[in-house]
C-alpha cells in the first residue's frame, strides 16, 4: 500500500473532496472523515466513504475547533472543500494549522480557486465546466452544450487533480521537510484536463461548428449507433485500417462507402446497417475484427462483461454498492481496497480516534454530553 502511514483529515463535503479522500484511502492512507455533529449519527449518504473513519465534531464550539487542531498535529494532509475564507473564520485555515505543523499539506478544493472576482461565488460542475471553456466542446450535434454529468470538473478536474497535488506535495516534502498549500480550482482543473482540446482548437480537430468535427460526433466513423434491441454500439474507426474492418463487419463494400464520404451520408448508411441486428450480434461480429467497435454498457453490464470480469474491474461492497476497482494497479504496493469495507456511520470512530491522540474517558464523556463531539452509538462505554 503506497500511502501506508499517511493520515488525512477530510472535511465532509460534496462529491469532489470525498472522491479525493477515496483515492488516498484506496492506496493505503488513513482517512479520517470529519463530519458535522448535526449529521445522521446512524448512517451516511456519502457513497464514497468506504474504508474511511468517521469523527463527528461540532465546529460551532471552541472545544470542537481545538479537537480538530489537535488531530491536525498528527496528520499529514487536510482536505478543505469549502469556499475561501470559511476555514480561516474557524481559525483552522492553513496559516493557523501550519504554525504548529509545518509538515502539513493543506489541500483546498474549490470551484473557482482562492482568489479572483468569482472566488467566493457558488457553483456546481456544470458552471465550472462552462467557465473552463470545456463545455463548449460537448454536446455533439445538439445545439445545446451538454455536460458529461459531473465527471469533468467535480472528479477529473477536481477530486483527482487534488489527489495528484497532494501526492506531489508529499513527494516534495521528502526533500524539504516542509508542507505546503495545494490550491485546486475545479474550473482550472477542468481546463487543464481539456488541454489537448484547447490546444487543438481551430486546428483540423475542431475547426467547424460543434458536432461537425472529427471527435465530437461529426464524423460518421466516430459516433454511437442504435441497434435493433434499442441498445447502442460505439464506433471509433478513425484510422483507415480500422475503417476497412468496420465496413467488413457491416458487410458494406468500401468502394460503396469510402471514408471520405460526406459525414451525414455515411451516418445514414451506418444507422441502417446497425439497426439490422441487436447489440450482442454486433459485439460478436466485431470481437473477431480489429475495428474499434464496442458495446455501450451500463455499469452493471460493464461489471459483468467477460473482459472486465477477468480484469476484476468492478467489485461489490458488503452493503451492496457496486464500485469500480482502484486504478492504477501497483506491482509491489497494491491497493488497500477491501470489498469487506463498509461506509462508516457518522461518529463511528470518534472515541477511538480521540483516545489515540490523548483524550481521557472523562474528557470524552463531558464532550459527548456538551455536544462537542458525536458518537453513533450513545451506549458505547467510555
Tell me which residues are annotated as active site. Answer: 124, 154
SS3 201: strand
| Distances, alpha carbon 183 to alpha carbons 77, 99, 166, in Å | 13, 18, 10
Contact call for residues 317 and 50 (beta carbons, < 8 A): yes
**Alpha-carbon distance 92 to 88, whole Å?**
6
- Write out the three cell numbers for 141: 450535434
**Alpha-carbon distance 74 to 63, whole Å?**
18
The owner of cell 463511528 is 348
Tally of residues, the chain: 382
Enclosing H/E stretch for 245: helix 240-250
**Alpha-carbon distance 185 to 182, whole Å?**
10
**Alpha-carbon distance 337 to 329, whole Å?**
11
Residue 187, Cβ density class (10 Å: 0-12 exposed, 13-18 middle, ≥19 buried): buried
**Alpha-carbon distance 189 to 111, whole Å?**
9
**Exposure string (b/e) for 249-259, b if CB count within 10 Å is 16 or more?**
bbebeeeebeb
Amino acid at each position: 500500500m503506497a500511502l501506508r502511514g499517511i493520515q488525512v483529515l477530510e472535511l465532509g463535503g460534496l462529491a469532489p473532496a470525498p472522491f479525493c479522500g477515496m483515492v488516498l484511502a484506496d492506496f493505503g492512507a488513513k482517512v479520517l472523515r470529519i463530519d458535522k455533529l448535526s449529521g445522521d449519527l446512524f448512517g451516511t449518504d456519502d457513497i464514497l466513504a468506504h474504508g474511511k473513519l468517521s469523527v463527528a465534531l461540532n465546529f460551532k464550539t471552541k472545544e470542537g475547533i481545538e479537537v480538530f487542531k489537535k488531530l491536525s498535529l498528527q496528520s499529514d494532509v487536510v482536505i478543505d472543500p469549502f469556499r475561501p475564507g470559511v476555514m480561516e473564520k474557524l481559525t483552522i485555515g492553513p496559516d493557523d494549522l501550519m504554525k504548529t505543523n509545518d509538515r502539513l499539506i493543506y489541500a483546498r478544493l474549490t470551484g473557482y480557486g482562492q482568489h479572483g472576482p468569482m472566488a467566493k461565488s457558488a457553483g456546481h460542475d456544470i458552471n465550472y465546466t462552462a467557465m473552463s471553456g470545456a463545455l463548449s466542446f460537448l454536446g455533439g450535434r445538439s445545439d445545446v452544450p451538454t455536460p458529461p454529468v459531473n465527471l469533468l470538473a467535480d472528479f477529473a478536474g477536481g477530486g483527482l487533480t487534488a489527489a495528484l497535488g497532494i501526492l506531489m506535495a508529499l513527494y516534495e516534502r521528502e526533500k524539504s521537510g516542509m508542507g505546503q498549500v495545494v490550491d485546486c480550482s475545479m474550473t482550472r482543473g477542468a481546463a487543464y484536463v481539456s488541454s489537448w482540446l484547447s490546444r487543438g482548437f481551430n486546428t483540423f480537430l475542431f475547426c467547424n461548428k460543434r458536432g461537425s468535427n472529427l471527435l465530437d460526433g461529426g464524423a460518421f466513423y466516430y459516433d454511437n449507433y442504435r441497434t435493433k434491441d434499442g441498445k447502442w454500439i460505439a464506433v471509433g474507426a478513425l484510422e483507415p485500417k480500422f475503417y476497412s474492418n468496420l465496413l467488413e463487419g457491416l458487410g458494406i463494400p468500401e468502394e460503396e462507402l469510402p471514408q471520405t464520404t460526406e459525414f451525414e451520408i455515411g451516418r445514414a448508411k451506418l444507422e441502417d446497417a446497425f439497426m439490422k441486428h441487436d447489440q450482442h450480434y454486433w459485439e460478436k461480429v466485431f470481437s473477431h475484427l480489429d475495428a474499434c467497435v464496442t458495446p455501450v454498457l451500463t455499469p452493471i453490464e460493464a461489471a459483468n462483461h467477460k473482459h472486465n470480469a477477468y480484469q476484476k474491474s468492478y467489485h461489490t461492497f458488503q452493503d451492496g454498492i457496486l464500485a469500480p476497482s482502484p486504478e492504477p494497479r501497483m506491482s509491489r504496493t497494491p491497493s488497500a481496497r477491501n470489498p469487506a469495507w463498509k461506509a462508516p456511520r457518522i461518529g463511528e470512530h470518534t472515541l477511538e480516534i480521540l483516545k489515540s491522540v490523548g483524550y481521557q474517558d472523562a474528557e470524552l464523556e463531558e464532550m459527548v454530553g456538551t455536544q462537542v463531539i458525536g458518537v453513533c452509538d450513545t451506549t458505547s462505554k467510555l
